[in-house]
Amino acid sequence: MTESPKIQAPVVVMLLFMIAVQLLAVAITPAIIASGNRVFEDPASTANPLLYLIIILGFTGLLLAAIRLKQGWIISGFIQLSVAASIYYVLVAFMDPLLALVPTAAMLLLLRFYPEWYVIDLFGILVCAGISSLFGVSMTTLPALLLLLVLAVYDAISVYKTRHMVSLAEGVISIKAPLLFVVPKSRDYSFRHDQVSVSSGEGKKRGAYFLGLGDAIIPTILVISADWSLPAASFFGLNLPALGAMIGTYLGFVALMTTSRDKPQAGLPFLDSGAILGFLTGCLAAGVRPF
Protein backbone atom coordinates (compact mmCIF):
# COMPACT_ATOMS: atom_id res chain seq x y z
CA MET A 1 0.00 0.00 0.00
CA THR A 2 1.33 3.40 -0.90
CA GLU A 3 0.17 6.94 -0.35
CA SER A 4 0.98 8.81 -3.51
CA PRO A 5 2.21 12.38 -3.89
CA LYS A 6 1.53 14.75 -6.74
CA ILE A 7 4.68 16.85 -6.44
CA GLN A 8 7.96 15.87 -8.00
CA ALA A 9 10.53 15.78 -5.17
CA PRO A 10 8.89 13.04 -3.03
CA VAL A 11 8.34 10.94 -6.15
CA VAL A 12 12.04 11.10 -6.97
CA VAL A 13 13.01 10.25 -3.39
CA MET A 14 10.69 7.23 -3.30
CA LEU A 15 11.99 6.05 -6.65
CA LEU A 16 15.54 6.34 -5.30
CA PHE A 17 14.48 4.19 -2.34
CA MET A 18 13.22 1.53 -4.77
CA ILE A 19 16.46 1.65 -6.75
CA ALA A 20 18.59 1.48 -3.60
CA VAL A 21 16.67 -1.56 -2.32
CA GLN A 22 17.08 -3.45 -5.59
CA LEU A 23 20.76 -2.62 -6.06
CA LEU A 24 21.59 -3.56 -2.47
CA ALA A 25 19.57 -6.79 -2.77
CA VAL A 26 21.52 -7.73 -5.90
CA ALA A 27 24.81 -6.89 -4.17
CA ILE A 28 24.19 -9.08 -1.11
CA THR A 29 22.62 -12.02 -2.97
CA PRO A 30 25.93 -13.86 -3.63
CA ALA A 31 26.63 -13.89 0.12
CA ILE A 32 23.08 -15.08 0.86
CA ILE A 33 23.45 -17.90 -1.67
CA ALA A 34 26.86 -18.86 -0.28
CA SER A 35 25.42 -19.04 3.24
CA GLY A 36 22.94 -21.69 2.10
CA ASN A 37 20.05 -19.92 3.83
CA ARG A 38 16.70 -20.37 2.12
CA VAL A 39 13.12 -19.86 3.27
CA PHE A 40 11.65 -22.74 1.24
CA GLU A 41 13.20 -26.17 0.89
CA ASP A 42 12.16 -26.52 -2.76
CA PRO A 43 12.62 -23.22 -4.67
CA ALA A 44 10.70 -24.57 -7.69
CA SER A 45 7.55 -25.49 -5.75
CA THR A 46 4.44 -23.55 -6.81
CA ALA A 47 3.19 -23.93 -3.23
CA ASN A 48 5.75 -21.36 -2.08
CA PRO A 49 3.59 -18.33 -2.97
CA LEU A 50 0.73 -19.83 -0.96
CA LEU A 51 3.00 -20.29 2.05
CA TYR A 52 4.20 -16.68 1.67
CA LEU A 53 0.58 -15.46 1.51
CA ILE A 54 -0.27 -17.42 4.66
CA ILE A 55 2.65 -15.74 6.44
CA ILE A 56 1.42 -12.33 5.25
CA LEU A 57 -2.16 -13.00 6.35
CA GLY A 58 -1.06 -14.30 9.74
CA PHE A 59 1.20 -11.31 10.31
CA THR A 60 -1.52 -8.85 9.22
CA GLY A 61 -4.20 -10.56 11.30
CA LEU A 62 -2.07 -10.42 14.43
CA LEU A 63 -1.31 -6.72 13.98
CA LEU A 64 -4.93 -5.78 13.24
CA ALA A 65 -6.14 -7.69 16.29
CA ALA A 66 -3.63 -5.85 18.47
CA ILE A 67 -4.71 -2.51 16.96
CA ARG A 68 -8.40 -3.18 17.66
CA LEU A 69 -7.57 -4.23 21.23
CA LYS A 70 -5.47 -1.06 21.62
CA GLN A 71 -2.43 -3.12 22.54
CA GLY A 72 0.17 -1.03 20.76
CA TRP A 73 3.00 -2.56 22.76
CA ILE A 74 2.27 -5.95 21.19
CA ILE A 75 2.49 -4.50 17.68
CA SER A 76 5.61 -2.49 18.45
CA GLY A 77 7.43 -5.36 20.12
CA PHE A 78 6.48 -7.91 17.48
CA ILE A 79 7.46 -5.66 14.57
CA GLN A 80 10.75 -4.63 16.12
CA LEU A 81 11.68 -8.22 16.89
CA SER A 82 10.73 -9.21 13.32
CA VAL A 83 12.88 -6.42 11.90
CA ALA A 84 15.77 -7.37 14.16
CA ALA A 85 15.47 -11.02 13.09
CA SER A 86 15.53 -9.98 9.42
CA ILE A 87 18.62 -7.83 9.94
CA TYR A 88 20.36 -10.59 11.90
CA TYR A 89 19.53 -13.19 9.26
CA VAL A 90 21.25 -11.04 6.65
CA LEU A 91 24.25 -10.16 8.83
CA VAL A 92 25.08 -13.81 9.57
CA ALA A 93 25.76 -14.25 5.86
CA PHE A 94 28.69 -11.85 6.29
CA MET A 95 29.96 -12.39 9.86
CA ASP A 96 30.09 -14.75 12.80
CA PRO A 97 26.61 -15.38 14.31
CA LEU A 98 27.70 -14.14 17.74
CA LEU A 99 29.25 -10.96 16.33
CA ALA A 100 26.10 -10.31 14.30
CA LEU A 101 24.16 -9.96 17.56
CA VAL A 102 26.00 -6.72 18.38
CA PRO A 103 24.94 -4.58 15.38
CA THR A 104 21.50 -6.19 15.47
CA ALA A 105 21.01 -5.15 19.10
CA ALA A 106 22.32 -1.64 18.35
CA MET A 107 19.88 -1.26 15.46
CA LEU A 108 17.00 -2.52 17.57
CA LEU A 109 17.75 0.01 20.31
CA LEU A 110 17.96 2.83 17.79
CA LEU A 111 14.58 1.90 16.32
CA ARG A 112 13.06 1.59 19.78
CA PHE A 113 14.24 4.89 21.23
CA TYR A 114 14.73 7.16 18.22
CA PRO A 115 12.28 6.26 15.41
CA GLU A 116 12.85 9.40 13.34
CA TRP A 117 12.00 9.32 9.63
CA TYR A 118 15.60 9.06 8.40
CA VAL A 119 16.28 6.19 10.80
CA ILE A 120 13.11 4.43 9.63
CA ASP A 121 14.07 4.95 5.97
CA LEU A 122 17.62 3.66 6.42
CA PHE A 123 16.44 0.52 8.16
CA GLY A 124 13.69 0.16 5.59
CA ILE A 125 16.25 -0.03 2.80
CA LEU A 126 18.34 -2.60 4.69
CA VAL A 127 15.38 -4.76 5.69
CA CYS A 128 13.79 -4.65 2.22
CA ALA A 129 17.05 -5.64 0.53
CA GLY A 130 17.65 -8.48 2.96
CA ILE A 131 14.13 -9.93 2.80
CA SER A 132 13.98 -9.55 -1.00
CA SER A 133 17.27 -11.36 -1.45
CA LEU A 134 16.37 -14.12 0.99
CA PHE A 135 12.99 -14.85 -0.60
CA GLY A 136 14.36 -14.28 -4.10
CA VAL A 137 16.92 -17.06 -3.76
CA SER A 138 14.19 -19.26 -2.24
CA MET A 139 12.02 -19.25 -5.38
CA THR A 140 12.56 -19.87 -9.07
CA THR A 141 10.81 -17.57 -11.52
CA LEU A 142 7.46 -19.38 -11.82
CA PRO A 143 6.67 -19.31 -8.08
CA ALA A 144 7.98 -15.72 -7.94
CA LEU A 145 5.67 -14.67 -10.78
CA LEU A 146 2.71 -16.34 -9.09
CA LEU A 147 3.59 -14.55 -5.86
CA LEU A 148 3.59 -11.16 -7.58
CA LEU A 149 0.24 -11.84 -9.24
CA VAL A 150 -1.44 -13.08 -6.05
CA LEU A 151 -0.15 -10.21 -3.91
CA ALA A 152 -1.12 -7.59 -6.51
CA VAL A 153 -4.72 -8.81 -6.28
CA TYR A 154 -4.53 -9.03 -2.48
CA ASP A 155 -3.13 -5.48 -2.23
CA ALA A 156 -5.94 -4.06 -4.38
CA ILE A 157 -8.62 -5.82 -2.32
CA SER A 158 -7.08 -4.86 1.03
CA VAL A 159 -6.75 -1.18 0.11
CA TYR A 160 -9.87 -0.50 -1.96
CA LYS A 161 -12.38 -3.10 -0.76
CA THR A 162 -11.79 -4.24 2.81
CA ARG A 163 -9.47 -1.28 3.59
CA HIS A 164 -7.77 -3.28 6.32
CA MET A 165 -4.38 -2.36 4.88
CA VAL A 166 -5.22 1.32 5.45
CA SER A 167 -6.12 0.55 9.06
CA LEU A 168 -2.85 -1.34 9.43
CA ALA A 169 -0.87 1.58 8.01
CA GLU A 170 -2.51 3.99 10.46
CA GLY A 171 -1.68 1.66 13.35
CA VAL A 172 1.92 1.37 12.18
CA ILE A 173 2.27 5.15 11.95
CA SER A 174 0.74 5.70 15.38
CA ILE A 175 3.34 3.50 17.08
CA LYS A 176 6.19 4.64 14.78
CA ALA A 177 6.91 1.12 13.56
CA PRO A 178 9.53 0.62 10.80
CA LEU A 179 7.20 -0.81 8.14
CA LEU A 180 6.93 2.27 5.89
CA PHE A 181 9.25 4.55 4.02
CA VAL A 182 8.64 8.14 5.14
CA VAL A 183 9.25 11.11 2.83
CA PRO A 184 8.81 14.46 4.63
CA LYS A 185 7.16 17.43 2.95
CA SER A 186 9.31 19.91 4.87
CA ARG A 187 12.72 19.98 6.54
CA ASP A 188 11.30 20.50 10.02
CA TYR A 189 9.08 17.41 9.85
CA SER A 190 9.43 14.87 12.66
CA PHE A 191 7.99 11.39 12.26
CA ARG A 192 8.24 10.85 16.01
CA HIS A 193 5.71 13.62 16.62
CA ASP A 194 3.44 13.11 13.60
CA GLN A 195 -0.11 12.18 14.63
CA VAL A 196 -1.92 12.75 11.31
CA SER A 197 -4.03 9.91 9.88
CA VAL A 198 -2.84 8.41 6.61
CA SER A 199 -6.41 8.06 5.35
CA SER A 200 -7.27 11.73 5.82
CA GLY A 201 -8.66 13.24 2.66
CA GLU A 202 -6.85 16.50 3.32
CA GLY A 203 -3.38 15.75 2.02
CA LYS A 204 -2.07 19.23 2.86
CA LYS A 205 -2.39 18.46 6.58
CA ARG A 206 -0.10 15.47 6.39
CA GLY A 207 3.54 16.12 7.07
CA ALA A 208 4.90 13.30 4.92
CA TYR A 209 4.16 10.74 2.24
CA PHE A 210 4.37 7.03 2.93
CA LEU A 211 5.42 3.98 0.93
CA GLY A 212 4.92 0.48 2.31
CA LEU A 213 8.02 -1.70 2.53
CA GLY A 214 6.13 -4.46 0.74
CA ASP A 215 5.93 -2.26 -2.36
CA ALA A 216 9.73 -2.43 -2.55
CA ILE A 217 10.15 -6.05 -1.43
CA ILE A 218 7.73 -7.92 -3.68
CA PRO A 219 8.94 -6.79 -7.15
CA THR A 220 12.54 -7.18 -6.01
CA ILE A 221 11.90 -10.86 -5.22
CA LEU A 222 11.34 -11.41 -8.95
CA VAL A 223 14.52 -9.49 -9.79
CA ILE A 224 16.63 -11.71 -7.53
CA SER A 225 14.85 -14.89 -8.60
CA ALA A 226 15.44 -14.14 -12.28
CA ASP A 227 19.09 -13.25 -11.77
CA TRP A 228 20.13 -16.45 -10.00
CA SER A 229 17.81 -19.02 -11.57
CA LEU A 230 17.84 -18.17 -15.29
CA PRO A 231 20.83 -18.89 -17.58
CA ALA A 232 20.65 -15.64 -19.56
CA ALA A 233 23.14 -13.14 -20.94
CA SER A 234 24.23 -10.50 -18.44
CA PHE A 235 24.28 -6.73 -18.74
CA PHE A 236 25.87 -4.52 -16.07
CA GLY A 237 26.27 -7.58 -13.86
CA LEU A 238 22.62 -8.63 -14.19
CA ASN A 239 20.99 -10.98 -16.64
CA LEU A 240 18.47 -9.42 -19.01
CA PRO A 241 15.31 -10.82 -17.35
CA ALA A 242 16.39 -9.39 -13.97
CA LEU A 243 17.35 -6.07 -15.53
CA GLY A 244 14.02 -5.97 -17.33
CA ALA A 245 12.18 -6.61 -14.06
CA MET A 246 14.06 -3.74 -12.43
CA ILE A 247 13.28 -1.28 -15.21
CA GLY A 248 9.67 -2.47 -15.31
CA THR A 249 9.35 -1.85 -11.56
CA TYR A 250 10.48 1.75 -12.01
CA LEU A 251 8.10 2.32 -14.92
CA GLY A 252 5.26 0.82 -12.87
CA PHE A 253 6.16 3.16 -10.02
CA VAL A 254 6.07 6.19 -12.32
CA ALA A 255 2.69 5.07 -13.63
CA LEU A 256 1.41 4.76 -10.07
CA MET A 257 2.61 8.25 -9.19
CA THR A 258 1.12 9.70 -12.38
CA THR A 259 -2.34 8.21 -12.11
CA SER A 260 -2.99 8.09 -8.36
CA ARG A 261 -4.69 10.68 -6.20
CA ASP A 262 -3.79 12.17 -2.82
CA LYS A 263 -5.13 9.24 -0.82
CA PRO A 264 -3.96 5.70 0.01
CA GLN A 265 -3.31 3.68 -3.15
CA ALA A 266 -2.54 0.01 -3.80
CA GLY A 267 0.99 0.02 -5.15
CA LEU A 268 1.54 -3.62 -6.06
CA PRO A 269 -0.89 -3.77 -9.01
CA PHE A 270 1.29 -1.15 -10.74
CA LEU A 271 4.69 -2.26 -9.47
CA ASP A 272 4.16 -5.98 -9.96
CA SER A 273 2.65 -5.49 -13.42
CA GLY A 274 5.65 -3.41 -14.45
CA ALA A 275 8.12 -5.93 -13.01
CA ILE A 276 6.41 -8.88 -14.72
CA LEU A 277 6.18 -7.16 -18.11
CA GLY A 278 9.81 -6.04 -17.85
CA PHE A 279 10.86 -9.54 -16.86
CA LEU A 280 9.07 -11.14 -19.81
CA THR A 281 10.57 -8.54 -22.16
CA GLY A 282 14.01 -9.35 -20.78
CA CYS A 283 13.40 -13.08 -21.30
CA LEU A 284 12.40 -12.40 -24.90
CA ALA A 285 15.49 -10.27 -25.49
CA ALA A 286 17.74 -12.92 -23.93
CA GLY A 287 16.06 -15.77 -25.79
CA VAL A 288 15.33 -17.77 -22.64
CA ARG A 289 12.17 -19.55 -21.49
CA PRO A 290 11.12 -18.27 -18.03
CA PHE A 291 9.50 -21.60 -17.02
Instruction: Write out pLDDT tens, residues 90-115.
Output: 888 788 889 989 988 988 888 888 88
Instruction: Write out pLDDT tens, residues 44-103.
Output: 999 999 988 898 888 888 777 777 777 667 777 777 788 888 888 888 878 888 998 998
Question: Is 130 within the bounds of a domain?
Answer: yes
Question: Is 291 within the bounds of a domain?
Answer: no
What is the rounded radius of gyration, in angstroms, for the C-alpha atoms of the chain?
Answer: 18
Question: Is 25 within the bounds of a domain?
Answer: yes
Instruction: Write out pLDDT tens, residues 152-203.
Output: 999 999 888 888 887 777 777 777 778 889 988 888 888 887 765 555 544 4
pLDDT of residue 259: 75
Averaged pLDDT for residues 234-262:
87
More confident residue, 252 or 34: 252
Question: Is 281 within the bounds of a domain?
Answer: yes
Which residues constitute the domain of residue 129? Answer: 2-286
Question: Is 78 within the bounds of a domain?
Answer: yes
Number of separate domains in the chain: 1
Question: Is 199 within the bounds of a domain?
Answer: yes
pTM: 0.89
Question: Is 143 within the bounds of a domain?
Answer: yes
Q: 245: which residues sit within 8 A by CB, 6+ positions away?
A: 219, 222, 223, 226, 275, 276, 278, 279, 282
pLDDT of residue 203: 44
Question: Is 85 within the bounds of a domain?
Answer: yes
- Answer yes or no: are the C-beta atoms of 128 and 249 closer than 8 Å: no
The band of 2, judged by pLDDT with boundaries at 50, 70 and 90, is low
